[in-house]
Structure 1
Amino acid sequence: MKRSLAIAVFAALLLAGCAAPGRQATSNATGTGSAPEAAQQLRVAAAAERGGQLGMALSLYATLSEANPGDPEVAQRHGAALLQAGQPQRAREVLAEARRRNPANGALMQAEARALLELGQAAEALAMFDAHLQAAPGDARSLNGRGIALDLLGRHAEARMAYRAARQADPNSPLFTGNLALSLMLSGCADAAMAVLEASPRSAATSEWLGQMQGLARTLSPIGGADAETTALRRALPAAAEPCTAMS
């Protein structure tokens, strides 16, 4: 397995982590920021989305977007559903148009940056997260997004600083802990990743996801499995550039 493939595996995990337990999901919003009729339609679309009827939800969101051009909440919900449906380019277009009409809206900036990450445009996403952090320096979600972009760019030490800052801003979120652990694994420090995960508080909602991250770290550690696929993945990851104890 080539290093590029190993990075692709971890990139998928990092991006999937954005939907892990503890994330502030746009699809669970009540729609109170929009007009009453639009808010009711948003609730119907969100119910369809939660019920697994993504096609119906997308149709409702598209209708709402046409009727309410530039509405930030409609755009965020529509964009999130498009990302869930595997349509990041369309999501980016919807969010960029809404942000053009609402250039100071930080939530739209975060959502568009998330779409850029899905499109593989990590440098552009990083610039957008950084721009939002200038206005909201302690925003945990933007700090986390900044970390993901930096990891995808191979700047793992800077990424870990971003995840730690996100954890400091929101100590109860398992998402930032999981992404910090993944960043440590990308740096060749699976044992340090295990230590971070073991020290993380668990709840019924987060235990399974953090356990999966811990299982991956254990597999990649020197005492992990020895099957051909695991060995290839372990070899594809870099050796630690500094003592792992200094990273955790």
Structure 2
Amino acid sequence: MSRPLSASRFLELKLNPSLPTLARTTRVALLAPLAAALLATGCASNHFVTPQPAAATHLPDAQADMHVAESALEAGDTQLAVSLFEKQLKTDPQSKAAQLGLGDAMYQTGDLARAGVLYARVAVVAPDDARAMLGLARVALRQRRLDEAEKRYRVLLAAHPEQAVAAEGLGSTLDLEGKHAQAQAVYRAALQQHPEVAGLKADLGLSLILAGDVRAGANVLLDVAGLPDAPPQARENLALAYGLLGNDQAAKRILVTDMPADSAEDNLRFYEQLRERLATATRDTGDARSAGGAQTQPVSAASVAPVGVLR
């Protein structure tokens, strides 16, 4: 999927309208993949709380509907999930499980306003409900209310430090705020507890790229992008790194595993635009490091490997 600069410029001005022109130019270019990867997909989109079954006093049919609804939600069948959760709410308007399930379904369909209302209703009666806390944080992030999202994710992570999804959400929020060093600290701390979570490594790699350390980001992504269960974002982020490093051949080989060749070519053209913008910023300042251009020397195709470190 191509990543137009106009959307990223809008996002950057929303986040840091007072940045110097040069810094804004560089950050706009680097924030474009982040906006596409995080906001379009909805970072930390999977709830980590075990779905709550209908109360024992409900009819067995209602319990069965709830289990089917949760299964449909997990499978991405939001239409079925919505119909069953709404059916349950007609029977029991106070059902937390149905409100949370419907909130998750609305979030998946992009109806953030209704999702927020449903999560908030549960939070009023159960302020410590982790699923409601996560839902409100996700909605705030998707709506670009970043201060609120950061606060909510910090509370959630403090209450559930064992949950990788809370760390992913906080780190993503910090990256969107431009606080890359803080985001990387969050990812690394979470990886100490969850070294098996590929999403954390993908996020860490992207954060390093956004901070201007493209080669270090590629090194992190190489360790995860070749895994059978690696998220597509890991490969997309690695392709971005190679694109910024000037290795279009390596970037294209990665991209075509997940998208048509035409879309891959669109991405390659976008990477070329980024390199040109970074090169211009470097010439204007004479400070390649501050412009994020210190790592833009071409990398040979021979250095591409499923895992390992760039040399």
TM-score calculated relative to the size of structure 2:
0.65
Do the aligned partners of residues 216 and 70 (structure 1) sit closer, same or farther apart at CA in structure 2, a change above 3 Å counting? farther
Which residue is 1:86 aligned to? Answer: 110
Within a 5 Å distance, the mapping from 1:176-191 to structure 2 comes to 176-191=200-215
Aligned to 1:147: 171
Q: Percent identity?
A: 28
**Which residue in the other structure is 1:110 paired with?**
134
For the residue of structure 1 that corresponds to 2:224, the secondary structure is coil
Q: 1:116 to 1:68 in 2, by over 3 A?
A: farther
Stretch moving more, 235-244 or 153-162 = 235-244
Where does residue 231 of structure 1 map in the other structure?
A: 272
Aligned: 1:119 with 2:143: yes
Superposed displacement of residue 192, structure 1: 1.3
Return the offset for 1:65.
Answer: 3.6
Amino acid corresponding to residue 274 of structure 2 in structure 1:
L
Task: Specify whether residues 144 and 228 from structure 1 end up closer, same or farther in structure 2 by C-alpha distance, changes over 3 A only.
Answer: closer
Q: d(CA) in 1 for partners of 2:164 and 2:104? A: 19
Report the 3-state secondary structure (helix = DSSP H, G, I; strand = E; otherwise coil) of the residue aligned with 2:110: coil
| Change over 3 Å in CA distance of 1:24–1:217 after alignment to 2 | farther
Q: Deviations over 1:201-238 (max 9, x none)?
A: 85432265533332222122243479653222345578
Q: Does the CA contact (< 8 Å) of 2:48 and 2:163 recur in 1? A: no
Cα shift at 1:197: 1.2
Q: Deviations over 1:25-77 (max 9, x none)?
A: 67xx5x45432544321222244446664323222223334544454433332
Matched residue, 2:302: none
Structure 2 residue 115 is matched with structure 1 residue 74: no
| Contact 2:191–2:200 (8 Å) recurs in 1 | yes
Paired residue for 2:54?
34
Residues 86 and 102, structure 2, Cα contact 8 Å, conserved in 1: yes
| Deviation of 1:81 (Å) | 1.2
On the 8 A contact 2:214/2:244 being kept in 1, the answer is: yes
Would you say 1:129 and 2:153 are equivalent positions?
Answer: yes
What is the RMSD computed on CA atoms of the aligned residues?
3.2
Partner AA of 1:34 in structure 2: A
- Output the CA distance in 2 between the equivalents of 1:124 and 1:110: 12
Aligned residues: 239
1:104–1:51 distance in 2 versus 1, CA, 3 Å: closer
CA distances 1:75-113 after superposition (whole Å, capped 9, x unpaired) = 332222111111111111110111111011122111210
Q: Extract unaligned runs of 5+ from structure 1.
A: none
**Inter-partner Cα distance in structure 2 for 1:111 and 1:131:** 13
Specify the alignment match of 2:299 in structure 1. none
Larger radius of gyration: 2
SS of residue in 1 equivalent to 2:43: helix
| 8 A contact 1:14–1:179 mirrored in 2 | no
**C-alpha spacing 1:197/1:9, structure 2 compared with 1 (3 Å):** closer
Q: Which moved more, 1:60-69 or 1:92-101?
A: 60-69
